Amino acid sequence: MTTNLSGKVVLITGASSGIGLALTHRMLQEDAHIIALIRTEFPADDLPIQTAIGTRQLRVYRADLSDFASLRVALELIKTNEEKIDLLFNNAGGSFHELMFSKQGRELHYELQTVVPYIITMELLTLLKKGTLKRVVHTSTNAFNTMTRFDPDTLDSPTNFKQLFGPYAASKLALSLWTQELAPQLANEGITMITVDPGGNNTIRPGKKSGIPFYLKPIILLFFPHPSKGASLLYQGALGHHMRGAYLTNNKHVKLRFVQHAPRVLEKVRDVYEYTYKQLG
């Protein structure tokens, strides 16, 4: 990795916890400037983070990303206040413990982890084009490798729910599929876009409900690495040389399944952006 990130502007969604927080620390250590698009506060006792906020090396914009009205306010502020973005990490997300829906009425995993990364990318294209790296990295997963079928038309409102390996996995697969489909178009505009599986990480937070099945929690707590491992894989993916639209596992390009559905997934997220988000006024 020879890219010098000093002075580069990096936007990270979900930057205040888990892999996003570890990635924020990594970028600050490299003297990058961070735009954090977050819902929950940064830890008050994290001295490097609080110091960076004080010096404005770390600039915080708050929003509930699954609420389009809240998201729009934050994105408009970013477009007004920031001059460029060199590197965009669409990292926010997580697995939920039960079937839930966004304020717009779509299944929450799908809204937050498939649709919202598209909206953020499209809305910030102008700032990305002003940057020097011009790279977009979406956080994906390998959980979808367990899926035996995939129907893009059930993403909005699934007929059944399974923790981790149901709508969560489907939403991440859909994210990787539309990324692969759209990447050649963005490459024509000078932007490189990929999805990266950060692998298994211990992101369990005490007292917070999650969609991790009960039988996996002890294994995760005992054997899974600190989120800095996942952050490192996102970092490597962002600064490496990869095929446009690549899906990376362990920093290696892996072929996606169900690629025949990629055009339909892209059509669906594009329609939400054009006919719902952009109509907010």
CATH number at residue 262: 3.40.50.720
CA distance 175 to 269: 9
Sequence-separated (6 or more) residues with CB below 8 Å from residue 16 = 24, 36, 38, 39, 40, 41, 42, 43
Work out the average pLDDT over 73-86.
98
202 pLDDT more than 60: no
- Tell me what pLDDT residue 272 has: 98
2 pLDDT more than 70: no
User: pLDDT (tens digit, 9 = 90+) per residue, 33-70?
Assistant: 999 999 999 999 999 999 999 999 999 999 999 999 99
The rounded percent of the chain whose pLDDT value lies above 90 is: 83
Sequence-separated (6 or more) residues with CB below 8 Å from residue 215 = none
- Tell me what pLDDT residue 199 has: 84
- Angstrom CA distances, 155 to 114, 192, 255, stand at 9, 26, 21
Sequence-separated (6 or more) residues with CB below 8 Å from residue 278 = none
**Structural domain includes residue 214:** yes
1 pLDDT more than 80: no
**Structural domain includes residue 110:** yes
- Tell me what pLDDT residue 219 has: 65
**Structural domain includes residue 4:** no
**Structural domain includes residue 3:** no
**Structural domain includes residue 2:** no
Range of the domain at 113: 9-280
Sequence-separated (6 or more) residues with CB below 8 Å from residue 273 = 115, 118, 119, 122
157 pLDDT more than 70: yes
123: which 2 tokens? 């809305």
In this predicted model, which residue has the larger pLDDT, 2 or 241? 241
- Tell me what pLDDT residue 213 has: 65
Domain count, the chain: 1
**Which helix H or strand E contains 187, and what residues bound it?**
helix 167-187
Work out the average pLDDT over 106-117.
98
**Structural domain includes residue 260:** yes
Residue 31 identity = D
- Tell me what pLDDT residue 226 has: 84
- Tell me what pLDDT residue 75 has: 98
Q: Average pLDDT of the chain?
A: 93
In this predicted model, which residue has the larger pLDDT, 206 or 253? 253
199, with CB counted inside 10 A (0-12, 13-18, 19+), is middle
**Structural domain includes residue 1:** no
